[in-house]
C-alpha cells in the first residue's frame, strides 16, 4: 500500500462527525442526579463528553454523530428518568 492510501485509511478511521446536544431536563434536582446522568450518558457508544448543570437543569453532550444520534441520547435521558424538553 502506498503512503496516500495509508493516509486515506487513517483519515477514514479517525474522522468523526462531532455534534452537540443541549437539553433542558427539569427533573434534575441534585448533584446525585447530575452524576447519574453523566455516568449513564458517558457509557453510551459515541459519546465524547457530558456536562450536567443541576442548578440550571441542563445537559450538554458532545458525541460522534456517526455512532450516536440525538434521538438515542434523548431516549437514554428519558429512560434514566430525566426526560428532556
Summarize pLDDT for 50-75 with one digit per residue, the tens. Answer: 999 999 999 999 999 989 999 999 99
Q: List, for residues 25-56, the tens digit of each pLDDT value.
A: 999 999 999 999 999 999 999 999 999 999 99
> Is the pTM here over 0.85, yes or no?
no
Cell of 60: 450538554
Exposed, middle or buried: residue 28 (CB in 10 Å: 0-12, 13-18, 19+)? buried
**Count of helix runs (H) and strand runs (E) in the chain:** 3, 3
Question: How sure is the predictor about 14, in pLDDT bands with cuts at 50, 70 and 90?
Answer: low
User: How many CB atoms lie under 10 A from the CB of residue 83?
Assistant: 14
Amino acid at each position: 500500500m502506498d503512503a496516500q492510501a495509508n493516509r486515506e485509511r487513517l483519515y477514514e478511521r479517525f474522522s468523526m462527525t462531532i455534534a452537540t446536544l443541549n437539553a433542558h431536563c427539569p427533573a434534575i434536582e441534585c448533584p446525585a442526579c447530575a452524576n447519574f446522568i453523566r455516568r449513564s450518558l458517558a457509557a453510551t457508544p459515541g459519546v465524547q463528553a457530558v456536562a450536567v448543570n443541576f442548578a440550571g437543569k441542563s445537559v450538554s453532550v458532545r458525541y460522534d454523530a456517526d455512532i450516536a444520534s440525538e434521538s438515542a441520547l434523548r431516549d437514554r435521558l428519558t429512560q434514566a428518568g430525566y426526560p428532556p424538553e
